[in-house]
Amino acid sequence: MAAFSCNDWQIFFYPLFNEQWVELCNRVRVLKNELPKEEFIIHSDVKLLKVLNISIIEKIPQDPFASHFALQKPLQKYSRLKKMGLPERYRLFFRAFKKRKIIIILWLGFPQKEGDKKDCYQVFIKKVENGDFPESIDNLLVECESEYSNNE
């Protein structure tokens, strides 16, 4: 998905999230062809895609620096959306850059048991510590843009 604008913010999908997004969209497309409408609209993947759309287009761009998105040290540069329609224990991680009015959606954390090594917060911390997400906005954007050009 190419970058788009909402509420004066430019929104980009980091390759890790873009891959999740494309997979989910493809699953929903298949479901639409396979299921009757009544079953389709209540399927968990369809509901997840709808909530992600609303979150990315409406909720996050309203104020990406709102306290309910904030993470604590060592993740204070990052934010996450939880609840607000997302299934329990799912987290949508993102990073916002105020001066350039850019939001980069990084990764959708899957539900795991709290405290488990595979808990989405533990996995995200490891991704940050391993340098999976570049520190600078310019490097993040280069990776986002290379993902878009690979998908064209």
CATH code of the domain covering residue 43: 3.30.2310.20
Q: Does residue 93 register a pLDDT over 70?
A: yes
Q: Does residue 88 register a pLDDT over 90?
A: no
Distance between CA 105 and CA 16 in Å, rounded?
9
Of the listed ranges 6-15, 56-65, 143-152, the one predicted with least confidence = 143-152
Q: How confident is the model at residue 112 (pLDDT cuts 50, 70, 90)?
A: low
The tokens 């993102």 sit on which residue? 94
Q: Does residue 2 register a pLDDT over 80?
A: no
For the chain, the domain total comes to 1
Tell me which residue range forms the domain holding 127.
4-151
Q: Does residue 150 register a pLDDT over 60?
A: no
Strands 4-6 and 91-97: unpaired
What secondary structure does DSSP assign to 126-139, as a single string?
A: HHHHTTSS-SSHHH
Q: How far is CA 87 from CA 6, 43, 49, 101, 130, in A?
A: 24, 12, 11, 28, 27
pLDDT at residue 140, rounded to an integer: 93
Count of Cβ atoms closer than 10 Å to residue 100 Cβ? 12
